[in-house]
Structure 1
Amino acid sequence: MQSGGHIGSDPVVCEEYGYGLGTHDGILVLVYRCDGRVDFGESREDFLHQLYWTPDGVLATVGGFVTGREGFWARRAVTHEVTAAGAQTVYRVCLREMPPALRDVRTGGVSVSPEAIRLLESLGRDGVPLGEALVARERIMAGLAVSTSGFVGHHAAGSGFAMTIARTLTRDPADRTQLDEWAGRLHTSVKTVQRDFEREFGMSYSRWRTVTRLRAAKALLQLHPVGQVAHQVGYDSPSAFVAAFAKEFGYTPGRIRSPH
């Protein structure tokens, strides 16, 4: 297989692990160790489907964000943009075969099951036997889903209410839906949703939302000025955003360089 389409700032390291290359059922796993902004995509890849996933940060895309429970899928011959920011690892999986659940998806966030995550990470190292790697590839492809129900099925330990909300807010941190509105949409009570957040994430809904917004902001600050980022992640004013950011991380967002 060939891989292409990486532009912009360079990663510190790019490791390559290929299994069954040149065949329809092969898989290529590229592991990037990043320190700062790294851009992927923009130039079209006509030969391979691609899945981007990070275990320890946020990936910014044209339509929003993906975090560790989701990856970003790009079908072959579809232009896309993905940006990693800060010190993080990014896995880029290249496939010739289309995963069954993603046949109607051109680009976008997709759920990655815990098993698929484990197997994906296992392929990013030396010494994996070919037969074992190709079995892992099948399980990884089966562990991708595009629907909310698929995401909840992959990741929810409780009722699924918290994970349903989490999927929306990680993709759009500026979403202003209040907790009582979420409870109404999900046909349950505010107390039940709060309990589910504590069960799933070990924190309240409001705390989880704050952390999610600020993690997304860290990625965006590599791309845009502070005032713009404040509104993109749901703060009414830059000053409120700066105060929340400094309280969370111990330094102001101005320390993170943007191109502006």
Structure 2
Amino acid sequence: MQEIRHQPVAPTSTRRLSSGDRIEAHRHDDHQIVYAGRGTIAVTTDVGSWVAPATRALWIPAGTAHRHQAHGELDLHLVGLPAAVNPLGLDRPAVLAVSPLLRELVVAYTRTPEDGGAARLRLRAVLLDQLTAAPEQPLRLPTPTSALLRELHDVLRADPADNRSLDELGRQLGAGARTLSRRLRDDLGLTYPQWRTQIRLHHALVLLADDTPVTAVAHRCGWSSASTFISVFRRTFGHTPGSTPAT
């Protein structure tokens, strides 16, 4: 990630972004919570990428270089926290489940960031308390360090519906399935099916944010049927792709 802008203070604010809008690579001396109340936000760092719909928020630790991209019309809520305030105890980016209460706290806290009164301090205290109870979600798409896996990553990202076996893909890349499996385990800690599912889910979130029909999303992301896709999506996100999460 090149030409990283240094913005010492992580802002607390609400921004509206159009689909496709980007916030280029930057870093803060503060921690930041990134939440899309509408649409889907993608955040990319040197070590991986995360995609979060309205049921998820992103934790960006102080000093982490990152960039954003909006998918769908986006209401972006940003909460900056001093580096000394780390309710999660995390020094790496993470995706967090957002309960209806946490959602309302984040929206309220970012709506009037200039208000520094006692009521706002109480609101922040409750927000931090709710953050400590927000479970981390396994939605990171790690960036491979191996050149061979980066080639495989590019193939799968270009066409998430590619259903070729690891043997078949290995022949294209000039490597055996055993070698690729070992690299995946050592480099990313994932099996090939786990990694491919993560890639497909990330792509599915982007398509859904652009109002692509569920059946078309399932097909374009490589699931055998819409019902199979819906089952995987519900198990991962807690709701079906065609429904609106409770708020």
TM-score using structure 1 length: 0.47
Q: Which has the higher contact order (CA 8 A, sep 6+)?
A: 2
TM-score using structure 2 length: 0.49
